[in-house]
Amino acid sequence: MDDVRFRPCGDRAITVEFENEISIAVNKKVRALQCALETEEIPGVIETVPTYRSLLIQYKPAVIRYAPLVEKVKEKLSDLSALTLPPAMITEIPVCYEGEYAQDLDEIASIEKKSRDEIIRIHSGSDYFVYMLGFAPGHPYTARFENPFSFKRRKSPRERIPGGSIVVQLQLSDIIPFDQPCGWNIIGTTPVLACDFRKKNPFCLHSGEWIRHIPITAAEFRSIRGKVEAGNYTFTRREYKG
């Protein structure tokens, strides 16, 4: 495989870098390598972190050193095209775009010179691809193909926005898992938790999956929130078919 670079990150990790771009095609290679390492483990590899165009591999030098590890990873890469990725999943993320739940929706509509309804249709009308999780536990970096919105960040970030906020810019849409500062526009709020530490598996999303935002009313928001808080909410997930 050309265009793959191996870079040491200190003495206990390496980064495997694919092409320098954010695209689903490149991210699929990252995901394929991660799957190959999960399917047939290289002894000494502790865990991997997929990002847009790189896979971070953390390992124990006592078991395998840098040079032999790179060789083993190269072997995996030569087999990658033969690897079938498990089917991607798509998860429905309910989003309330009403009133106080959609703090910046009017501003977004004004910038785009469209109606509130049109903005909602644009955001909820397309699947978003989950490139990776990071920044906070369960926080997905997601994007769609085209730029539905023209704006980037707000002039100044807010010191604190609530967990559950759905924030957007350009072709990106993020679920903010916990209260935190944020400089993006808030288009809606979801009653579900991107990270629920009470659960055995706290996370609802994984790198390489898809999400679809489903508009809900304020009443539905409260009802789902109740289920989430009681630990009774189940995500709607299915195989993604293009």
Where on the chain is the footprint of another protein (CB under 8 A)?
7-13, 15, 17, 20-22, 34, 46-56, 58, 61-62, 65-66, 132-139, 141, 178, 195, 197, 202-203, 206-207
DSSP per-residue string spanning 152-216: -S-SS-EEEE-TTEEEEETTEEEE--SSEEE-SEEEEE-SS-SB-TTSSS-BS--TT-EEEEEEE
Nearest distance, CB of residue 21 and another protein, angstroms: 8
Q: Please, which residue, 117 or 179, has the CB nearer to another protein?
A: 179
Nearest distance, CB of residue 27 and another protein, angstroms: 11
DSSP per-residue string spanning 101-143: GSTTHHHHHHHHT--HHHHHHHHHTS-EEEEEE-SSTT-EEEE
Question: What is the distance between the alpha carbons of residues 214 and 218, in angstroms, rounded to a whole number?
Answer: 13
Nearest distance, CB of residue 11 and another protein, angstroms: 4
Q: Please, which residue, 183 or 202, has the CB nearer to another protein?
A: 202
Q: Please, which residue, 210 or 221, has the CB nearer to another protein?
A: 210
Q: Which amino acid is at 18?
A: F
Nearest distance, CB of residue 213 and another protein, angstroms: 20
Q: Please, which residue, 7 or 222, has the CB nearer to another protein?
A: 7
Q: Please report where in the chains the tokens 């009403």 appear, as a residue.
A: 98
